[in-house]
Amino acid sequence: MEDKGFEIDFSELLEKGFTDLEAKPSPTEPRERRSDKFHGRRPHGNGAMRERAFRGNDSRGNAGEKNARSSHRFGGKRNAKPSRPFPPQPVATLHFYPEDKPIIALVNAIKNSGRTYTLFSIALLLLERPDRFNVMILPLPRKGETEAQALSISVPDNMPFLREEDAFNHACELVFDSLFDSAEIELDPPKGEYKMVALCETTGAVIGAPNHHGYNLALRRYHEENFPNWPFEKFMMTVKNSTDEVLVKSWLESMTKQTIYILKDRAEGEPEKFESKHAAVEFLKTHRREKMIATASQWRIPGTMIEKLPQGKLRAQIESELAKQRKFPLETANGFRGRLRHMGLVFFRKAPEGIVVVSGIRRKFRTPSTHFSDEVLGIFKYLDEHQGARLDVLLSDILGEGATDADKAKLAGSVRWLVSEGYVCEMEKGELFVFQAMTEEQAKAAENNEAPKPREALEPVLDESGITESVPVMTQPIEPPTE
C-alpha cells in the first residue's frame, strides 16, 4: 500500500514565509525587562522577582497583589501565581532528526522557491508535526553508576523502556492473545462456610474470602497484576473486608468457573495448558523472553510514537525537550544542517544580524572584474541603499508612478534573474538583499566556503576551511536574459 502520510505541500508553507511559526510570547514568560526600572539593582528575594515576572500587562501590579505581598511579610499567605514546573530529571540524551520523506520534500521546495530561509525556520517547520521527525535516545547512567544501562525494547512494536520488566509487561500485553487460546471450565464450589470477602477499594474488585485456602496467593497475584509498582504494604491498606451477602454469593459463583490458557506454538516437552494467566506469563518470562524484548545502547523512535509511550520519566523528558526545541531549536538545527548541505543547500550568515540562512542557490559577488548592464547596476545601487526592500516597492521607487506593466515586467525579470544567479538574496518573506562588493580574493574565499564538503564534515558550516574549488570570474558584461 502506498504511504500517503507525507504528502505535505511544503512549497505552500514556504511561500507563506513561515508566518504561522513566528515566536509568540508565552503567557507564563515575563513581558518586559525591568532592570532599567531598578537602575541595575535587583529586587530583594526570588519571590519578588517571580511576582513581578508573572504579573501580566500591568507593570505596576494592583492593590490586591500589593496587599498580598504586604500580608506575607507579616505572616499572611502570599496570593502569588504558581511558578513554572521544574524540568524532569534527565534519564537520556535526546536528539531530534528529520524523517527522510519530509526533509526531501522540504529541500526540493526550497530549491524550487528560489528564496532563502533561516535555519531556525526550517527546524521549526520540521518539529511542528510529529510525523516529520524522529527522536534518538541514548540512556544516561543511573544515580551512583558510571556506565549507562542499555534500553529495553519491546520487540512487537519497537517501543523503548528504561526497565526490562516494563518492556516485558508491555510486550506481553501485545502478544498474549496471539500465543494462547483461552477456555472456560466448570469447577466444584469451594467447601466450607464463607460469610466475608475482601475488596480492593481502589478498583472495587472482589479478591477472595480471607478464610479460603487460596486467599494469600490470590492477594499476591492481584497485587502483581494490578499494582506492580506499589509496595505490598501500601496495597494492603486498600484491602477491606465486607459481609455483603451479594458480594459473597458473587465470589462463590466465580469460584465454580476457571479460565485456562492453552499454548499455541508448543514445543516438545513444554506444558500444554496453564491454570491461570499468571502461570502463562511466568512461562513466557522463562521460555519466550528473548523473542519479546531486546536491548540497545541507543534507539530511534518516530515522533508519532511519543504520545504512545507510557507515562514516566522517559516520556516526560522527551515532551519537555521537544517543547524547548520548538521554542529555540538550536540543537536540532545544528544536528541536521550537515544533511541539508549534502543534499545541495548552501549556508551563509546574513548581515548584519549574523543569523544562519539556507538557500538552494550559491552566492555570487560583485568584483572589480565583473561588469553589468546599466539596468542591473541601477538595481544594485537601489538595494545597496534600501536593503530589505520588497519587489513591489523596488519597482515603484525605480520606475515611478507612470511606469507601464511592460516596464515593470522587464525590471522584475532582471531582479528574478539576479536572484536565480545568486547576486541578490530573496528572503522567506520577500525581502531583497544584495551582497556587498568584494575583491577577487574575498569573493573566491567566500564562494569556496560554501562549496560542498566531505560527507563526514558535519560541523558548523561557516567554520570550515581548506577547500580550494576554482570559480571562474566573469570578465564580459553580464546581461539578464531577454524575452
Measured CA to CA, the distance from residue 304 to residue 400 in angstroms comes to 54
**pTM, two decimal places:** 0.69
pLDDT in tens, 211-222: 998 889 889 888
Cβ neighbours, 10 Å, residue 162? 17
Residue 415 carries which DSSP code? H
Q: Is the pLDDT of residue 440 over 90?
A: no
* SS3 category, 13: helix
A 10 A CB-CB count for 154 gives 22
Strand 299-302, strand 371-372: pairing: unpaired
Residue 458, all three cell numbers: 558535519
Is pLDDT of 231 > 80?
yes
pLDDT tens digit sequence for 390-408: 999 999 999 988 889 999 9
Least confident of 77-91, 106-120, 379-393, 420-434: 77-91
Mean pLDDT of the chain: 79
Say which residue, 22 or 310, is predicted with more confidence: 310
pLDDT value for 402: 84
Q: What integer pLDDT is reported at residue 40 of this predicted model?
A: 44
For range 77-81, the mean pLDDT: 54
Q: How many residues does the chain have?
A: 483
* Model confidence at 47: pLDDT above 70: no
98 backbone dihedrals φ, ψ, rounded to 5° = -75, 150
Neighbours of 409 (CB within 10 A): 11
Find the range with the poorest average confidence among 58-72, 198-212, 417-431. Answer: 58-72
Nearest CA-CA partner of 325 in 115, 87, 103: 87
**Domain chopping of the chain, boundaries:** 37-78, 197-255, 361-478
CA–CA gap between residue 54 and residue 81 (Å, rounded): 7
Instruction: Report how far apart, in Å, the C-alpha atoms of 23 and of each of 270, 326, 432 are.
Output: 61, 9, 22
What pLDDT shows up at residue 221?
Answer: 85
Half-sphere exposure of 265 (CA within 13 A, CB side): 10
**133-139, strands of its sheet edge to edge:** 92-98, 133-139, 299-302
Supply the pLDDT for residue 80: 55
**In the CATH scheme, what is the code of domain 361-478?**
1.10.10.10
Per the omega criterion (within 30 degrees of 0), is the bond before 352 cis? yes
Task: Name residue 208's beta-bridge partners.
Answer: 198
Q: Would you place residue 64 in the very low, low, confident or very high pLDDT band (cuts 50, 70, 90)?
A: very low
Alpha-carbon dihedral sign for residues 174, 180, 184, 185: negative
Task: Cell numbers for 365, please give them.
Answer: 559577488
Least confident of 72-76, 300-304, 339-343, 446-450: 72-76
Phi and psi at residue 280, to the nearest 5°:
-65, -40
In which band, very low, low, confident or very high, does the pLDDT at 441 lie, cut at 50, 70 and 90? confident
Query: What is the share, in percent, of the chain residues with pLDDT greater than 90?
Result: 49
